[in-house]
Structure 1
Amino acid sequence: MKGTPVTVTSVTDVGSDTIAIELETPDGFDALPGQFVLLRAAPDDEEVARHYTLSSPTVDDTFELTVGIDPDGDLSPWLADREGGDTIHVEGPFGRITYDGTSDVVAVAGGPGVGAAVAIAEAAQDASHDAVVIYQAADPAHLDRLEALERAGATVVFVDDGADEDLAAAVAAHREAGQLYAFGFDDFVTAVAEAIDDAGGDPDDAQIENFG
C-alpha cells in the first residue's frame, strides 16, 4: 500500500458521529494548520483513500484529524473502530491553505470543517494573535476546545444549520478581524464567499478550502 505507515495513538469521540484520530508524526512530516493528508486503508481487503484536514495546531510528536462518521461510508466507520497501536498509511501533507502564525484569524467552519478552524484558532492564540471562530452545524463538535478558545479570549459564534442569513451576518461582522479562512462543503463555502462579497469584501482574499 502506498504512503507512510503511521501508528494510531488514540481515537476520541468529539461530537455526534465525529471522532478525532491522533497519529504519531512520521519522520520528515512538516505540516501547518490548514493543510490536509491522504489516508489509505483496506477495510474490506479493498484499498480506500480519503483526504482529511489537520485538526491539531502542531505536528511535533503527533497530529490529529477530525473525521465525520458516515455509517454507510467506505472508510470513516473503519477509522472509528481503530485503537491505539493500529496502523494507517498516510501521504502528504498537501494544500496551499496554511496558517503560519503571523496574523489574527477569522476561521469559518461548516460541519467537519470545525477541526481545521479550531486548529488555526489555537495556533493563532499560541502565536499571541486574536482569533474568531464562526461555526455552522446542526450538532457542534469539539465543544471542549471551542470553550477553551473562548476562555483564552477568542470570539466563538455558533450558527444554526440552515441559518444562512445568520451566517452571512456573522461573516460580515467579523470578516475584517483577521485573515479569513473557511472550511466546509461546497454549499457552505459558496455561502461564505457570497457573504464576503455582499459585505463589500473580496472573496479572493480569503483562504477557502472546499471539501467538495
Structure 2
Amino acid sequence: MTLAIYPVYLSDLESGEPWTAVRRVLLWALASSIAVVAATVLLGEGTVGPLILKGEEYRDEMLDWIRTGRGPEGDPSLFLVPKLIEIAVFTVLSLASAGFLGLFLGSYLLNYMNFYVGCLFLRAEDWAVPALFGWPIYAIIRVVGYTCLGTFLSIPLLRRLGRTELSQGEAAGLLKVALVCIALDFLLKATVANAIYQPILRGAIGV
C-alpha cells in the first residue's frame, strides 16, 4: 500500500505542496482502512488475521481491555513509553527515507488497528457502535499528527537531494499541527479510553 501512495506524495513535496501531500496520505489511510475492515468482515478474521502483522496479537490485547478495562489502551503508565519509542522510530525512519519508511510504518500500524476494528464488527450486534467507536477519536487525531510529522520530516533529505525547494520553515505549520495532535492523543487516550470507549464497546460486543 505504501508503494501506491509514495510517488504521489513525493510529487506533491517536489511541487512545494506539503498540505496537499498530507491530504492525499489521509485519503489513502481512509481507503486502506475501509479495505482492511471490509476484508476482515467479508473473509473472516481467521483468513485475514494471519496476513496482518501483529493483527491477532493486537486484537487479543484490545478485546482483553474491553473485557477488563485493564491494559495499555487507557493506562499512561503502560502506553506512554512505548508510544514515545514509536514516535522516535517514526521520526528516524521518516528523516532517513524522505518519508517512505515513515509511511511504511504507518501502514503497518493502520493494518493491525483496522483488523481489530473489523473483528469488532464481527462481534457486535449493532454495527453502528464499532462504526462510531471502533476507531477512537484520539487514534484518528494520532493519524493526522503522524501524517503531518512525517511530511515535515521528509523535507530535509529531499532538499539535500535537490528534489524540492521547500524549507522546513515554510512547512513549520505541519510540525505545529503534529505536536498538538500527538499531545491530544496522549491526553485523550489517558482520559476517555477507559471512561467512555471501553464501557461502550464492552456493551456492544457482550463480553
- Bigger Rg, structure 1 or 2: 2
Q: Which is richer in strand?
A: 1
Which one scores higher on RCO, CA 8 angstroms, separation ≥ 6? Answer: 2
Judge same fold: TM > 0.5, yes or no: no
Q: Which is richer in helix?
A: 2
